């Protein structure tokens, strides 16, 4: 399966320009950034809460949390641009530092350097004191002494600066060692001083914040104002990106597919956009132009190719999953477990399908033994396709993605990928997979028989 030149889709999708499937804050042009950034009602509500804090008197120390890849950094850059165009632009100088750039071997000195170059430089230039910043910065003294001089200069002319400085420490999650994080946080608070003129923010993932020790949580209570970035619709984001330079452009990704991909990537907008981009490159266009609904259906069916090629979902027609020779037991189990969850029921239904349906493709009667069930259940567990708690088996979301695709399309795609690697498998393996099984009916029939 070769990568498709996405330009082949442009005429069908009515695209004059390729939409941006990366984070939009990478583009420094104000026009394109704001045109591509999707602000829904919840983001607007969050912005209003931030503005209320920035307008208030006193400390504005805060922390922003959200899911991995949900757009925290992009939101901060968007906020920075919005602030520059609002009335509060006369009150706030908003600067962003990436924690990942702090050298943990010498975090204090490294952090001082970043604060000087990314924050104080902007702060002084904004107030018309760029020459004074350069004069202090060029002195052959230690960075902390420079920072002290910046504070002294500001203290003597605070009425002329008119703005307060906000220093945001972003990307806290890129620092893995908790002791390093604590040292950076402590240094960040002390380097920036305690005056109201310098307000400190941190940005990190919700899960990371919850995983911290009590001691680190206590350090983070300093950033007392919590803001939580809401989950934004991936479908709406893609629509916004496409419409930016393509007035009548078609969105090939349905809302349902966008939700599937976003959930598969644990809410990461960044990663989900990357998968959608790959789907575009692995999907061959039809021979003629089609309606948006038909194109979206085309992409939704074809998405499994990308998910398999990118190892987002496993191909369960490989040697690892074929524990019973020449028999697709893993595939049957996933489809059965979506309807029934007790092991005895699962075995009964799997056995019935093996004996009376799939077994017809083999010489004689095919019987599935109970001791053949445990090995494949363990393999499905180890591959995070099922869970087992309180004697109940359930599908993970990754497995639900697999069973959501039509049997024919998933199996044929896997066959195209796997057939050359499964030399020991004869055509009967793929032949029996060509049959469409109504798993739900088998489960219902077994349950009816038990109650009679």
- The token pair at 127 is 């107030």
Residue 369 phi/psi, 5° resolution? -90, 150
Q: Render each residue's pLDDT in the chain as its tens digit; 452 residues.
A: 567 777 788 889 999 999 999 887 665 556 788 889 999 999 999 999 999 888 887 667 899 999 888 899 999 999 998 888 776 777 888 999 988 888 877 878 888 899 999 999 999 998 899 999 999 999 999 998 998 899 889 888 878 887 888 999 998 888 888 888 888 888 888 876 655 568 889 999 888 888 888 888 888 888 888 999 999 999 999 999 999 989 899 999 999 999 999 999 989 999 999 999 999 988 888 777 789 999 999 999 889 989 998 899 999 998 889 887 678 889 999 999 999 999 999 998 988 888 777 765 555 456 778 888 899 999 999 999 999 999 999 999 999 999 988 888 898 888 888 765 655 566 777 877 877 889 998 888 776 555 44
Separation between Cα atoms, residue 46 and residue 187, nearest integer Å: 28
3-state secondary structure of 311: coil
- Cα 388 to Cα 394: distance, rounded to the nearest angstrom: 7
- What whole-number distance in Å separates Cα of residue 157 and Cα of residue 104? 34
Place of tokens 């908790």: 178
**Residue 357, CB-side half-sphere exposure with 13 Å CA sphere:** 18
d(Cα 315, Cα 321) in Å, to the nearest integer?
A: 9
**Domains (ranges, CATH) in the chain?**
7-21+233-309 (no CATH), 39-228 (3.40.50), 329-451 (1.10.10)
Residues 6+ apart with CB under 8 A from 446: 340, 345, 348, 349, 352
Q: What are phi and psi of 240, to 5 degrees?
A: -65, -40
- Quote the tokens at residue 231: 């989950």
Q: How far apart are CA 59 and CA 199, in angstroms?
A: 7
In whole angstroms, give the CA distance from residue 430 to residue 439.
18
User: Does an H or E element contain 412, and which?
Assistant: helix 407-418
- Residue 227 phi, psi (nearest 5): -125, 135
Task: Please count the residues of the chain.
Answer: 452
Rg of the chain on CA atoms, in Å: 29
List phi, psi (to 5°) of 112. Answer: -60, -45
Q: Residue 167 gets which letter from DSSP?
A: E
Joined tokens for residue 280: 């575009």
Helices (H) and strands (E) in the chain, counts: 23, 7
φ/ψ of residue 132, rounded to 5 = -70, -35
Secondary structure class of 204 (helix, strand, coil): strand
Q: What is the pLDDT of residue 129?
A: 93
């Amino acid at each position: 399966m070769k990568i498709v030149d996405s330009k082949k889709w442009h005429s069908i999708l009515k695209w004059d320009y390729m939409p941006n499937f990366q984070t939009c804050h990478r583009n420094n042009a104000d026009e394109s950034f704001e045109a591509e950034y999707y602000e829904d009602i919840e983001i607007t509500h969050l912005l209003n809460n931030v503005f209320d804090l920035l307008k208030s008197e006193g400390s504005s120390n805060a922390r922003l949390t959200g899911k991995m890849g949900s757009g925290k950094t992009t939101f901060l850059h968007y906020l920075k641009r919005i602030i520059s165009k609002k009335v509060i632009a006369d009150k706030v100088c908003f600067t962003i530092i990436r924690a990942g750039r702090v050298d943990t071997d010498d975090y204090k000195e490294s952090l001082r350097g970043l604060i000087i170059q990314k924050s104080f430089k902007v702060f002084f230039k904004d107030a018309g004191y760029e020459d004074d910043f350069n004069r202090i910065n060029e002195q052959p003294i230690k960075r902390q002494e420079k920072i002290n001089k910046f504070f002294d200069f500001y203290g003597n002319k605070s009425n002329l600066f008119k703005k307060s400085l906000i220093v945001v420490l972003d990307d806290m999650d890129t620092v893995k060692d908790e002791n390093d994080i604590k040292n950076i946080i402590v240094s960040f608070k002390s380097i920036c001083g305690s005056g109201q003129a310098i307000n400190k923010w941190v940005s990190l993932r919700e899960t990371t914040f919850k995983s911290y020790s009590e001691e680190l949580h206590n350090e983070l209570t300093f950033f007392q104002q919590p803001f939580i970035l809401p989950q934004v619709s991936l479908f709406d984001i893609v629509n916004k990106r496409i419409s930016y330079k393509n007035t009548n452009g078609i969105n090939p990704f349905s809302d349902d597919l966008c939700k599937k991909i976003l959930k598969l990537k644990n809410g990461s907008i960044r990663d989900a956009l990357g998968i959608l981009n790959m789907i575009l490159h692995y999907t061959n266009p039809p021979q003629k132009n089609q309606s948006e609904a038909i194109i979206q259906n085309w992409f939704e069916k074809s998405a499994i190719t990308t998910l398999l090629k990118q190892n987002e979902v496993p191909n369960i027609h490989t040697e690892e999953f074929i524990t019973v020779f020449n028999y697709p037991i893993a595939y049957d189990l996933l489809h059965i477990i979506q309807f029934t969850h007790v092991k005895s029921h699962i075995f009964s239904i799997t056995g019935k399908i093996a004996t009376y349906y799939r077994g017809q493709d083999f010489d004689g009667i095919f019987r599935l033994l109970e001791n053949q069930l445990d090995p494949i259940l363990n393999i499905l567990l180890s591959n995070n396709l099922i869970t087992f708690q309180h004697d109940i088996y359930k599908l993970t979301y990754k497995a639900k993605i697999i069973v959501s695709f039509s049997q024919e399309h998933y199996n044929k795609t896997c066959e195209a990928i796997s057939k050359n690697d499964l030399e020991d498998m004869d055509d009967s393996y793929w032949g029996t997979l060509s049959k469409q099984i109504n798993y739900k009916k088998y489960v219902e029939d077994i349950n009816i028989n038990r109650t009679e």
